[in-house]
Structure 1
Amino acid sequence: MTDHQAHTAARPLLRRSQDGELIDVAGVAHFFRLTSEHTGGRFAFEEFSLAPGTIGARPHVHDGHDEYFYVLEGELTLHTGDREVTVGPGHLLAATRGTPHGFRNAGPAPARALCLYTPAG
């Protein structure tokens, strides 16, 4: 198969709203919409939600991938290496490789956000 044939044979992947894998870990509902399996290891995409008072992830560091957090609803308290900041919808945290990061819901309402991973883990 030539490069042109491989390129033209590829098709976009449509994931409907119900498509994905739901994993509940310590009060965080992770809904993985795209995984390594779907993207050839290049990218992963999840939507997650946390109840008030829930710790999503204590401060930690990744050496093998970047994570991008985008808040959709409610508030997330994000650990940014040397401090914490509470943010609402539309805010984005880029936790690139080697940077300390973490998140929790310290607010009074549920929070919902997206997390993107490059490459997929």
Structure 2
Amino acid sequence: MVSVDLGRRGFVEALAGFPLAGMAPVDQTSSPPVVKVAAGAGRLDDIITLPGGDRIHVKVATQESGGALFMTEQPIERRGSGPPRHYHEEQDEWFYCLAGEYVVEIGEQRFRLGPGDSILGPRRVPHAFVYDGAGPGRILIGFTPAGRIEQFFRELEKRGQYFGNGSPEDKELAHRLYGIVNVGPPLKL
């Protein structure tokens, strides 16, 4: 390691030449308010009900992260409950088991998650999960970048059924609007 004694003037001149072009001042007035989200709750009581009755508690809304992250907690009480096999064209999906047991398939691999276990489902790789516990379970799921995933879940609540379970037009709509491609039925235990 080489030591260079710049002195005060040399240090200031070197610092002035340091590239700061990509750094912009942070605008504190446009930041969303900081909100603590309690266990078993959604941000500002934001809870989305999925087809079949499962709920999503919104922990980090898309707008809070500038579109970088959408984070949910999903309490599940029905063994065998989970989404159809699908993939996201633009989002990685991270699963973290808080309580209960889950079976997660990513690509051709099957994993069992217990409390504290997590796994990442990379974008464009088919995946699905199913709850396989006795009693209530909870799983934390994060999407990055958030893209339009939050809107997708809000639309599911309005529709009352998953995209892609019906006609080819319905599958194309989920793909075109949300970048989600359904490739199979929910997992079976």
- Measure the CA separation in 2 of the matches of 1:60 and 1:16: 29
Aligned-pair CA distance for 1:51:
1.2
Q: Which has the higher strand share?
A: 1
Q: Which residue is equivalent to 2:49? A: 24
Query: What does 1:70-109 align with in structure 2 at a 5 Å threshold?
Result: 70-109=96-135
- Measure the CA separation in 2 of the matches of 1:72 and 1:46: 12
Aligned-residue CA RMSD in angstroms?
2.1
- Flag the structure with larger Rg: 2
Equivalent of 2:36 in 2, 5, 15? 15
Relative contact order (C-alpha < 8 Å, sep 6+): which is higher? Answer: 1
- Measure the CA separation in 2 of the matches of 1:104 and 1:70: 13
- TM-score of the two chains, using structure 2 as the length reference: 0.56
Aligned-pair CA distance for 1:71:
0.2
Q: Which residue is equivalent to 1:118? A: 144
Q: Which residue is equivalent to 2:94? A: 68
Equivalent of 1:48 in 54, 68, 74? 74
Count residues with an aligned counterpart: 118
- Measure the CA separation in 2 of the matches of 1:54 and 1:22: 21
Q: Which residue is equivalent to 1:3? A: 24
- Measure the CA separation in 2 of the matches of 1:56 and 1:79: 11
Whether contact under 8 Å (1:51, 1:110) holds in the other structure is yes
- Measure the CA separation in 2 of the matches of 1:24 and 1:81: 27
Whether contact under 8 Å (2:37, 2:59) holds in the other structure is no
Task: Give 5+ residue unaligned stretches, structure 2.
Answer: 1-22, 150-189
Whether contact under 8 Å (2:79, 2:133) holds in the other structure is yes
- Measure the CA separation in 1 of the matches of 2:72 and 2:129: 15
Percent same amino acid at aligned positions? Answer: 26
Whether contact under 8 Å (2:71, 2:140) holds in the other structure is yes
- TM-score of the two chains, using structure 1 as the length reference: 0.84
Whether contact under 8 Å (2:92, 2:145) holds in the other structure is yes
